Amino acid sequence: MSEASDAMYSTPVYAEGLPNAPVTRRFLVCQVPQQLTDLRQQLPADDLPSESLSAAEAGDAFEARLTALLQEATIGTHLYVRGDESFLWHVRAAAYQQGLMDDEISLFRTGDRRNVYCVHCSHMQDVGPGDETTCGGCGVVLTIRTHFSKRLGAYQGVCLDPDDPYGEAR
Amino acid sequence: MAVTLNPVQTYRDDFTFRNSPEAIRRFPFPFDRDEYMYSVNIEPATPGEPGSIYEHMFDVDEHYRTEMVERAKVLEEDPRRCLLMPHMEQAGWDLLELIMTNLSHDYPELFSLSRDGDRWHWRNQALDIDQTFTFGDASTLPQEPMEYITRQMQGDFCLLDQRDGDLFMDAGMVTGPADWSMAFDAGMGFKEWHAPVPVAHELGVFERALSFLLNLQIGHPVRRLNWTMTVNPRLDTSPETFHRWGYENGIVTPENVAQVLNLRVELQLLARLPRSNAIVFSIRTYLISLEELVTNRDWACRLHRVLRDLPEELSDYKGLSDYRQTAVDWLAQFDPEASASRAG
Amino acid sequence: MQTLSVKVADIRQITPLIREFTFVPTSGELPGFSAGSHVVVEVPAGERKQRNPYSLLSDPRDRTQYRIAVRRLDESRGGSQAMHANVDVGDHLELASPRNFFPLHSQARHHVLIAGGIGITPFMSYVAELQAHGASFELHYAYRGGLTGAFVEHLRERLGAKLHTYDSEAGEKVDIATVLREQRLGAHLYTCGPASLLEAVREQASALGWPAGRVHWEEFAAPEPGVPFSVELAKSGRRIDVPGDRSLLETLEDAGVDIDSGCRGGVCGACKTRYVEGQVEHRDEFLAEDERGTYVMPCVSRGCAERPLLLDL
């Protein structure tokens, strides 16, 4: 099944271009440093103040540095995030926590890792491409729907075959 | 008319849930024609005839105790079914007030409320509850106000926060849903949580419904009916437990269809809450087995035609496809046209 | 439409231009309301009734009374003028239930309020609500000393350093850019007052990179007069003349046509009406561009003199 044909209103759509609204300051946040270069190339060459942060470089200090950046930021700041879906929604959740709105965040997707929330046991797991996975929490074989929760940053995983929930007969 | 409460039956395991002839008589049969199409079908929630489910704002019926026992069981097994984001507490108080004032006014033999300023005294004889508390102070109740009062009222309840030109599902008590998950959908906007509904989006149904609801006024509640079908009188048909009950969709046979298959009708009520400016969305579910339903021959004939002609997309979405044909075949005997063509 | 019956319990002249009215219910309690709500008051004005929206000033927790403040405008077409001239203590009035088109935003971590003159009124209930919840906020209040600064002393007592006042008579002016420049992420901005203030605030906010979703405003735009025109109702075939000094909505109400209304200022969309034929001078802020060929907001928008407007009513 192709993703496009299944897309729902709740299925996230990622940024392709840049937002039109005026911004006064930029935060660039990426999974790996190379993506920062990619992002910078996309942005207009102006002298707006900007800060950047790469998760790979920051390592364990990533969360704390992200939070610190957001806490001292003023309105007019725009956040540009580049990475796979798991990463994008992780950063978006932290930004939301600090009071950003969707209009102040641009998410650029690369790669195909994403989070799945098991509706049966609440277990959250990071998966690759494909519409099926086995829940690491309860063992139910899940079909991954395109129904997406921004709050959880995850697609909905629900039992694929209720006649054989644990895939034992396969 | 005073409501007579049944002793506690079950919506699970041995499924002892049954409707009395009176409950069948007042069942909200949802089809006013022989075909069904998804529509907004919202109407003002004005009081209906005495004895009907529309007589009062909140309908308490013979299944009251059974449903409250079921809710407590679901919550014990899965606390995620009740969720309230901190900014929704005011809406919770609004809901508590709305339910308490309506129930004590409409069912004085079961509920009573006396108020002395912020000091409130609530009695629920059906569940043997006697509670004195301070309105606005959650620490004086056993649970936060939304959970407290919805453990005492039939139907699921969602509280919607109005902001950014949208309605966000930021609180709810959802223990008997027709295949949607509060834990997953919490925090979503109106069109997001309706995303899995097919067809309707293309028709602009949710766009129109949303702009209507954003303007909902205090004291002018609205309602609509929705329907699906459920195998066994199982109230908790949630995705959370789908891996445990989903197989039941495959147990329907020509021999048992009349007993195990139920028409499931939701009376949805939406009302503006005054202090919070939130909207309460309540979903009161009525179940009736085909065997009970066909005691009304008009309903039997009409249900046959609706199910027979239902577009496949809707049938799939409602999860009816496994047993639809079995139900249609059995119901055909109540449709004069169908039996005539068969005989011919 | 269902209305609330109230009695005028008190009238206070707060400044030479502004009068405060206190309403109590004729029986029982008044409905609770949310901060920023208004009520539409039916004001007797000669033979007709004028329906005007006024923000509720009172503490939203208080169900025993509603308070509003009315500024007398010389150019007022009767509503505010009539409130000043024709309404006395002991009078009975009808109100439409409170509605809110200017609510507090539940996700705001800090609230920045900018009021100009009588535009302080919705912020009176905001302040009560925000203080009751210990929320973070600041109020900037610009007024003409002795004339429009109705609640300066009252607010000063309650708010202390959270209140910033700007008296134009003393040459003080609110520097919007300074107020907005250093706000942390998560702040929301609310403004109410004359159109010029609202425009300045919105322009400045946008220039400083505030997304539209953080900027909220309420304008009490009384419908501007225009040329007389006429409408025809498609369903009944009735023809109704709209005088130059009455809005289309008011004229339809006078004629007994059942039509919903909310803000009466072209913002909420409640009175949105389909039209089938004719030309509309759109004056609302609600309709999208592609809706303007089919819908009209009768609270503020008008037809043209040349030919009647055919409404789908």
- One DSSP character per residue, C231-257 reads EEETTT--EEEE-TTS-HHHHHHHTT-
Q: Is there a contact between A104 and A77 (Cβ–Cβ < 8 Å)?
A: yes
Residues of C with CB under 8 A from a CB of A: 107, 109, 180-187, 206-214
Q: Which residues, 6+ apart, have CB-to-CB distance to C98 below 8 Å?
A: B218, B274, C31, C33, C34, C37, C38, C39, C56, C66
Helices (H), C58-175: 79-86, 121-132, 152-159
Proportion of chain A above pLDDT 90, given as a percent: 74
pLDDT for res A88: 97
Which chain C residues are Cβ-neighbours of A99 within 8 angstroms?
107, 109, 184-187
Helix C121-132 with C152-159: angle, nearest 10 deg: 20
The answer, for A65 touching chain B at a CB cutoff of 8 Å, is no
How far apart, in whole angstroms, are the C-alpha atoms of residue C239 and residue C230?
A: 7
Inter-chain touch A70–C187, beta carbons under 8 Å: no
Taking only the tens place, the pLDDT of each residue in A98-128 is 999 999 999 999 989 999 999 999 999 999 9
Helices (H), chain B: 21-25, 64-77, 89-106, 145-150, 182-185, 190-193, 205-214, 242-245, 257-260, 290-293, 297-309, 312-317, 324-331, 336-343
Three-state helix/strand/coil letters over B10-46: CCCCCCCCCCCHHHHHCCCCCCCCCCCCCCCCCEECC
Inter-chain touch B193–A10, beta carbons under 8 Å: yes
Inter-chain touch A75–C214, beta carbons under 8 Å: yes
How far apart, in whole angstroms, are the C-alpha atoms of residue B239 and residue B78?
A: 12
Between B186, B188, B244, which is nearest A10 by CB? B188
Note if B224 is an active site residue: yes
Q: Which of A13, A123, A151, A164 to mutate to test the interface with B (most CBs of B within 10 A)?
A: A151
- CA A43 to chain centroid, in Å, comes to 20
Q: Is the pLDDT of residue A3 over 70?
A: no
Between B163, B164, B215, which is nearest C262 by CB? B215
pLDDT for res C3: 85
Q: Is the pLDDT of residue B342 over 80?
A: no
Q: Is the pLDDT of residue B1 over 70?
A: no
Which chain A residues are Cβ-neighbours of B201 within 8 angstroms?
9
Which chain B residues are Cβ-neighbours of A117 within 8 angstroms?
184
Q: Which two tokens stand for residue C4?
A: 């609330």
Q: Is the pLDDT of residue B53 over 50?
A: yes
Lowest-confidence region among B72-86, B139-153, B291-305, C212-226? C212-226
- Give the pLDDT band (50/70/90) at residue A63: very high
pLDDT for res A105: 94
In one letter, which amino acid is A70?
A: L
| Minimum Cα–Cα distance from A157: chain B residue | B239
Strand partners, B289: B262
Length of chain B measured in residues? 344
Q: Which of A20, A24, A71, A75 to mutate to test the interface with C (most CBs of C within 10 A)?
A: A75
Q: Is the pLDDT of residue B211 over 90?
A: no
| Minimum Cα–Cα distance from B91: chain C residue | C34
Q: Which of B88, B184, B190 to mutate to test the interface with A (most CBs of A within 10 A)?
A: B184
Q: Which two tokens stand for residue C262?
A: 């909310």
Which chain B residues are Cβ-neighbours of C61 within 8 angstroms?
275
The terminus-to-terminus CA distance of chain C in angstroms comes to: 17
User: Which helix or strand (DSSP H or E) is residue C37 part of?
Assistant: none
The terminus-to-terminus CA distance of chain A in angstroms comes to: 21
Taking only the tens place, the pLDDT of each residue in B303-328 is 999 999 999 988 998 899 999 999 99
Chains touching C, CB cut-off 8 Å, 3+ pairs: A, B
CB count in 10 Å sphere of residue C111? 22
Q: Which residues, 6+ apart, have CB-to-CB distance to C62 below 8 Å?
A: none
Length of chain A measured in residues? 170
Of A95 and C225, more confident: A95
Inter-chain touch A149–B187, beta carbons under 8 Å: yes
Between B87, B211, B220, which is nearest C106 by CB? B87
Which chain C residues are Cβ-neighbours of B220 within 8 angstroms?
2
Q: Cα torsion for B123, B129, B132, B137, to the nearest 10°?
A: -110
Q: Which residues, 6+ apart, have CB-to-CB distance to C210 below 8 Å?
A: A75, A76, C180, C189
Q: Is the pLDDT of residue B155 over 60?
A: yes
How far apart, in whole angstroms, are the C-alpha atoms of residue B145 and residue B151?
A: 10
Q: Is there a contact between C19 and C11 (Cβ–Cβ < 8 Å)?
A: yes
How far apart, in whole angstroms, are the C-alpha atoms of residue B101 and residue B99?
A: 6
Lowest-confidence region among A69-78, B3-12, B292-301, C252-261? C252-261
Strand partners, C191: C114, C217
Proportion of chain B above pLDDT 70, given as a percent: 97
Tell me whether strands C187-192 and A154-159 are parallel, antiparallel or unpaired.
unpaired
Lowest-confidence region among A30-44, B143-157, B324-338, C256-270? C256-270
Q: Is the pLDDT of residue B93 over 80?
A: yes
The answer, for C98 touching chain B at a CB cutoff of 8 Å, is yes
- pTM of the predicted model, to two decimals? 0.93
Q: Which two tokens stand for residue B114?
A: 């006396």
Inter-chain touch A10–B186, beta carbons under 8 Å: no
Distances (CA, A) of C70 to B43, B190, C15, C145: 37, 37, 11, 17
What does R_g of chain B's alpha carbons equal in angstroms?
A: 20
How close A115 gets to chain B, by Cα (Å)? 13
Q: Which residues, 6+ apart, have CB-to-CB distance to C297 below 8 Å?
A: C266, C269, C271, C272, C273, C282, C283, C284, C286, C287
The answer, for B186 touching chain A at a CB cutoff of 8 Å, is yes
Looking at residue A90, what DSSP letter applies? Answer: H
- CA C313 to chain centroid, in Å, comes to 26
Strand partners, B83: B172
Of A141 and A40, more confident: A141
Inter-chain touch B219–C2, beta carbons under 8 Å: yes
Inter-chain touch B276–C34, beta carbons under 8 Å: yes
Taking only the tens place, the pLDDT of each residue in B268-295 is 999 999 999 999 999 999 999 999 999 9
Between C109, C210, C213, which is nearest A99 by CB? C109
Between B184, B191, B243, which is nearest A140 by CB? B243
| Minimum Cα–Cα distance from A69: chain C residue | C185
Q: Which two tokens stand for residue C50?
A: 């004028």
How close B89 gets to chain C, by Cα (Å)? 11
Q: Is the pLDDT of residue A5 over 70?
A: no
Which chain B residues are Cβ-neighbours of A120 within 8 angstroms?
239-243
How far apart, in whole angstroms, are the C-alpha atoms of residue C193 and residue C122?
A: 10
Which chain A residues are Cβ-neighbours of B242 within 8 angstroms?
119-120, 158-159, 162
Q: Indicate which residue of B25, B81, B224, B302 is catalytic.
A: B224
Between A8, A151, A158, which is nearest B242 by CB? A158
Inter-chain touch C270–B220, beta carbons under 8 Å: no
Q: Is there a contact between A32 and A54 (Cβ–Cβ < 8 Å)?
A: yes
Which chain A residues are Cβ-neighbours of C109 within 8 angstroms?
99
Helices (H), C87-120: none
Which chain A residues are Cβ-neighbours of B196 within 8 angstroms?
8, 10, 145, 147
Count of A–C CB contacts within 8 Å?
Answer: 54
Inter-chain touch A100–C186, beta carbons under 8 Å: yes
Which chain A residues are Cβ-neighbours of B319 within 8 angstroms?
none
The answer, for A13 touching chain B at a CB cutoff of 8 Å, is no
Inter-chain touch C208–A76, beta carbons under 8 Å: yes
Helix B297-309 with B324-331: angle, nearest 10 deg: 140
The answer, for A74 touching chain C at a CB cutoff of 8 Å, is yes
What does R_g of chain C's alpha carbons equal in angstroms?
A: 20
Inter-chain touch C32–B161, beta carbons under 8 Å: no
pLDDT for res B344: 44
Question: Each residue's pLDDT tens digit in chain C (313 positions)?
Answer: 578 999 999 999 999 999 999 999 999 889 999 999 999 998 887 777 888 899 999 999 899 999 999 988 755 555 688 888 889 999 999 999 899 999 999 999 999 999 999 999 999 999 999 999 999 999 999 999 988 888 999 999 999 999 999 999 999 999 999 999 999 999 999 999 999 999 999 999 999 999 999 999 998 666 677 889 999 999 999 999 999 888 999 899 888 898 888 888 888 888 999 999 999 999 888 888 888 999 999 998 999 888 899 999 9
pLDDT for res A1: 34
How far apart, in whole angstroms, are the C-alpha atoms of residue A161 and residue C196?
A: 63
pLDDT for res C79: 67
Q: Which two tokens stand for residue B125?
A: 């004889």
Taking only the tens place, the pLDDT of each residue in A36-49 is 888 888 888 888 88
Inter-chain touch A120–B242, beta carbons under 8 Å: yes
3 state DSSP class of A127: strand
Residues of B with CB under 8 A from a CB of C: 87, 94, 161-164, 170, 211, 214-215, 217-220, 274-277
User: Which helix or strand (DSSP H or E) is residue C107 part of?
Assistant: none
Between A8, A120, A140, which is nearest B195 by CB? A8
